[in-house]
Structure 1
Amino acid sequence: MIALLRFLLMGFVVLTVVYVSVSLYSRAMRRQKLRRHWDEKIGTGDRDAFVRKGLALYDRSLRRRLILGVYIIPMIVVGTIVYIVNYT
């Protein structure tokens, strides 16, 4: 049982690193797309305000929430494997 808890703790740490990396990468890509869109289509006004507004919309988007699958899917898989191995 202690080995399982250690495994889950280490898995949680690894998944946290993966989540932070994917989240920062996705946000950077969104910022880059917003800047490129402003340069190509709009070109007038406050670029930083446009990017801030776009990132605020991104923070509430489905894509941002889907990144949480980095935690959910591996935990479901590990839980299912542990259940199948021990109880069937």
Structure 2
Amino acid sequence: MLALLRLLLIGFAVLTVIYAALSLWSRRVRRRRLGREWDEAQGPGSRERFVADGLRHYDRSLRRKLILGVYILPLCLIALITYLTNFH
């Protein structure tokens, strides 16, 4: 039981680093895409305002929430393997 707890704690720490990296990378890609989109269309208002509005929409998007799968999938897989190994 102690080994499983240690595995989960280390795994959670590693998954947190992966989540942070994926989140920052995805946000940077979105910011770059919004900047290019404004440059092509020369949209109304300033570029900074356009990018800020786009990032606000991104923060509420499904893509942002799907990145949480970094936590959910591995932990569910560990729980399934533990259950099948011990109780099945």
- Assess same fold via TM > 0.5: yes
- Return the TM-score normalized by structure 2: 0.97
Give the CA deviation at 1:44. 5.1
Structure 1 Cα separation of the partners of residues 45 and 77 of structure 2: 49
Letter in 2 for 1:77: L
Report the Cα distance in structure 2 between the residues aligned to 1:49 and 1:31, rounded to whole angstroms.
12
Identical-pair percentage: 57
**Between 37-46 and 68-77, the greater mean CA deviation after superposition:** 37-46
Partner of 2:46: 46
Q: Does 1:82 align with 2:63?
A: no
Alpha-carbon distance in structure 2 between the residues aligned to 1:58 and 1:44: 20
**1:41 offset after TM fit, Å?**
1.1
Tell me the TM-score normalised to structure 1 length.
Answer: 0.97
**5+ unaligned residues in a row in structure 2: which ranges?**
none
Tell me which residue corresponds to 1:13.
13
Alignment match, 2:70: 70
Q: What is the Cα-based RMSD across aligned positions, in Å?
A: 0.9
Letter in 2 for 1:37: E
What 5-or-longer segments of structure 1 have no aligned partner?
Answer: none
Greater alpha carbon shift after TM alignment, 49-58 vs 35-44: 35-44
